């Protein structure tokens, strides 16, 4: 029961908070522009599904490459730390 109540409270709080932010004119304009852009993008991708697949694949490749590079750098840093701490322990 506690999990359900917490989840309902979080969702309700997020919805109320989102609605309250729409009292600001700039926020409403921003949301309106983003909704129109989303509508245009969806319409384009519905008409051109191959472009959608290509964009998804391209984004996946980019993220995969960045993740691989990040992991490689992390491994290099760990190796350097092991060398440094190993050298200090031997002294």
* Pair (43, 6) in one structural domain: yes
pTM comes to: 0.53
C-alpha 76/C-alpha 71 separation (Å) is: 9
* Pair (83, 71) in one structural domain: yes
Q: 88 is in which domain, residue-wise? A: 49-91
* Pair (39, 54) in one structural domain: no
C-alpha 35/C-alpha 15 separation (Å) is: 17
C-alpha 8/C-alpha 26 separation (Å) is: 29
* Pair (29, 61) in one structural domain: no
C-alpha 79/C-alpha 72 separation (Å) is: 11
- Each residue of 43-91: pLDDT tens digit? 999 999 999 999 999 999 999 999 999 999 999 999 999 888 876 665 5
C-alpha 6/C-alpha 12 separation (Å) is: 10
The total domain count for the chain is 2
* Pair (40, 62) in one structural domain: no
Judge residue 52's burial from the number of C-beta atoms within 10 Å of its C-beta, 0-12 exposed, 13-18 middle, 19 or more buried.
middle
- Each residue of 33-51: pLDDT tens digit? 999 999 999 999 999 999 9
């Amino acid at each position: 029961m506690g999990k359900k109540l917490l989840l309902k409270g979080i969702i309700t709080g997020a919805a109320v908070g989102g609605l309250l932010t729409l009292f600001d004119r700039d926020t409403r304009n921003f949301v309106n522009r983003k909704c129109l852009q989303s509508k245009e993008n969806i319409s384009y991708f519905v008409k051109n599904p191959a472009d959608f697949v290509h964009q998804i694949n391209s984004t996946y490749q980019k993220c995969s490459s960045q993740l691989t590079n990040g992991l490689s750098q992390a491994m290099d840093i760990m190796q350097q730390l092991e060398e440094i701490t190993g050298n200090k322990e031997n002294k």
